[in-house]
Structure 1
């Protein structure tokens, strides 16, 4: 851990503990209010009100002092650790490169990454290419060293919420990962991306578009084909990058090289879990105790809020109250000339059963994973470019042989050419 990271860990932990204390106080208050209401109904307010007033005062002081104490203690511990690390030369590895610490960091970034970018910037990773547990410099020399066998065909991989690039090996064991198999069988050089999943999807989409501009320019050999693969939230980032505004100095050249996109378990129409969090905030924020009880949920990252409906552009959320759970998506058209594929997971053994339709892979139902057509809004995917894998949960798709087979089939050079937007609209 670096000195700056230790200091920021203290800040982030202190803020989180203070908010957690506020949440506990809210739950305590809701239970207490219910008990006092029952006693008041039996004995009258003259008996219970003085007791309740005194209890509320003691509770406020106790929880307030506890929250501030935990916050201060965490910040002091982080500051003291940072001083010690700086005194010894600050030679330790970054938490971003550690074998174990990055997992906790990835989860924390997914939950609070937008706040970290402001208050604890050393913990908020910039979008970057990773290989061999290191960040790769996007120069011709840096890429040539990291990819000695670089070929003209590239596959870029985007992980999901609360994950890192190492998630592509989750559950694989000794079997080849999806990137490894596609590299071996189809010659697609794997480029794994790490990014701050707590940021807005549209912000990460813009960051990805900028990164690809640099990557293509610096790649050791001339790029012939570019494939974009996104798991869960990563699929939204892929589609966001494709519609990101061009830089002021001209057009994005990498978009002309994209032959295919594949989204795996991506909530194109949002996630029921994210909508449940939004509903909890709306229902419980009607009084002070309720607002305290859902304080941690309210403070969830902007990236999680984007999963409520599947936002991909700034226009989908800009100008709206952050706690507004309405669907304000603009549904930008997918670019022409690119094959867009979706792989769906269902926990049941049957594709058409009620469980498959409603539960999907436990996090994303099929209608969302396939961006099912809405009124006057066509799907992003042709029917023949969607595939369902049965008997698999959301994270299981990262190591599923069925998913690997569909990736291989979709991305094989023998795949059919892309269709225009008009043909896609007419088919769905």
Structure 2
């Protein structure tokens, strides 16, 4: 018998130790769930709004999120941002479906003391980082209009503080940015000219916005007539923020639509066509998903498309939203499946939620000859990265740092 054997724990003690650890697993698991719940409680409202935000807004529910800049976990009016550094490059981060501004800053499972893209870029690239939070249950075009209005207010309030403007959007956030560019390029003065067929809807949406502002009486009233698409007039000046815009980063953005929502739409239609009570019930339940989610089917960025009588067709109308002249677009996408999988499968599933073909945006960015003057498109694929992983990947950060 060796000298070390007496110091070894007996078999009985090893067994009892294993039993004790097994007995503590439920306690440790419950503790983890509690800590995780506390860390993620800020997601409650964003998730609720992503699922039912349009319905919350329709009934003037105080839980309906209103688009705003965010700082320290609070809404901040543009006038209260107090930007002073002259001509500083400004990066505006826009989250995705059911997200909020914190996805750009920190995460529960991140290493202690680590920071995400926003704070790191602000420090290492010496730029200004601003964050937007919005109701992701509303139509993409409604949020696009409001983002354009906020950016206009930003550059008009701080004409000497805003230098180059860079927009970074994850998933749905990238679509909101594209929609904002579309409306910003139209005549601001024409935003008060809805068509007669849309006047009732325009009035209804105006009332919703007014109701959501009751708790913010000191805030400057917004132009709520900008819910419907304006008619551009010849020689009209675009929104002033476009003159500052230099780059747009689209992280995992479904530029040509989401295969997941396309399948949900098809399933709801099929269940309804079967026309039995259980299938009709399931179809109605599926169709309760928010307008923002439904718009993801083919990335509907313009009001007329979701207002069209054929909006629910299998191939609905889709107004082209071209890139903005003189802007460099960066398309960053994940490749979730291993390279050993069939290429068609990897292309379809992409990062797990957004297919690679949709992320590339063939209908928008695919034809180089058709791109507006000065538009440049760069594409980067990050291997074995899922949709959420694009928010924490070190190589994605290095790409942003290099090109921002």
TM superposition score normalised by structure 2: 0.71
Question: Cα–Cα, structure 1 residues 149 and 131, in superposed 2: closer, same or farther, change >3 Å?
Answer: farther
Q: Does 1:153 align with 2:85?
A: no
Q: More helix by proportion, 1 or 2?
A: 1
SS at match of 1:332: coil
Give the structure 1 partner of residue 221 of structure 2.
none
Q: Does 1:311 align with 2:247?
A: no
Q: Report the alpha carbon displacement of residue 100 of structure 1 after superposing the two structures with TM.
A: 4.9
SS at match of 2:330: strand
Name the CA distance, whole Å, in 1 between partners of 2:131 and 2:116: 12
Give the structure 2 partner of residue 162 of structure 1.
98
Name the CA distance, whole Å, in 1 between partners of 2:267 and 2:144: 28
Quick one: which of 395, 400, 403 aligns to 1:407? 400
Q: Report the alpha carbon displacement of residue 291 of structure 1 after superposing the two structures with TM.
A: 1.6
SS at match of 1:122: coil
- Structure 1 contact 108–162 (Cα < 8 Å) conserved: yes
Quick one: which of 334, 359, 378 aligns to 2:349? 359
Q: Does 1:387 align with 2:380?
A: yes
- Structure 1 contact 153–188 (Cα < 8 Å) conserved: yes
Question: Cα–Cα, structure 1 residues 194 and 410, in superposed 2: closer, same or farther, change >3 Å?
Answer: same
Q: Does 1:261 align with 2:248?
A: yes
- Structure 2 contact 57–64 (Cα < 8 Å) conserved: yes
Q: Show the 5 A alignment for 1:333-344.
A: 333-344=322-333
Q: Does 1:195 align with 2:188?
A: no
Once the two structures are superposed, what CA deviation does each residue of 1:48-107 show, in whole Å capped at 9, x if it has no partner? xxxxxxxxxxxxxxxxxxxxxxxxxxxxxxxxxxxxxxxxxxxxxxxxxx9754312211
Name the CA distance, whole Å, in 2 between partners of 1:383 and 1:361: 24
Aligned residues: 310
Give the structure 2 partner of residue 123 of structure 1.
63
Question: Cα–Cα, structure 1 residues 332 and 353, in superposed 2: closer, same or farther, change >3 Å?
Answer: same
Quick one: which of 175, 180, 183 aligns to 2:122? 183
What 5-or-longer segments of structure 2 have no aligned partner?
1-37, 191-236
Give the structure 2 partner of residue 248 of structure 1.
189
Give the structure 2 partner of residue 281 of structure 1.
268
- Structure 1 contact 151–188 (Cα < 8 Å) conserved: no
Name the CA distance, whole Å, in 1 between partners of 2:400 and 2:103: 17
Question: Cα–Cα, structure 1 residues 351 and 159, in superposed 2: closer, same or farther, change >3 Å?
Answer: farther
Name the CA distance, whole Å, in 1 between partners of 2:364 and 2:322: 13
TM superposition score normalised by structure 1: 0.67
Once the two structures are superposed, what CA deviation does each residue of 1:184-219 show, in whole Å capped at 9, x if it has no partner? 222221111000000110110000000001112223
Q: Report the alpha carbon displacement of residue 109 of structure 1 after superposing the two structures with TM.
A: 0.7
- Structure 1 contact 308–325 (Cα < 8 Å) conserved: no
Quick one: which of 362, 369, 379 aligns to 1:372? 362
Q: CA RMSD in A?
A: 2.7
SS at match of 1:254: helix
- Structure 1 contact 129–193 (Cα < 8 Å) conserved: yes
What 5-or-longer segments of structure 1 have no aligned partner?
1-97, 412-428
Give the structure 1 partner of residue 335 of structure 2.
346
Name the CA distance, whole Å, in 1 between partners of 2:290 and 2:91: 28
SS at match of 1:121: coil
Once the two structures are superposed, what CA deviation does each residue of 1:345-377 show, in whole Å capped at 9, x if it has no partner? 111343995243122110011111110248996
Name the CA distance, whole Å, in 2 between partners of 1:317 and 1:329: 9
Question: Cα–Cα, structure 1 residues 351 and 149, in superposed 2: closer, same or farther, change >3 Å?
Answer: farther
SS at match of 1:345: strand
- Structure 2 contact 170–252 (Cα < 8 Å) conserved: yes
Question: Cα–Cα, structure 1 residues 113 and 388, in superposed 2: closer, same or farther, change >3 Å?
Answer: same
Once the two structures are superposed, what CA deviation does each residue of 1:306-342 show, in whole Å capped at 9, x if it has no partner? 1001111123322235543423211122111111111
- Structure 1 contact 340–380 (Cα < 8 Å) conserved: no
Give the structure 1 partner of residue 318 of structure 2.
329
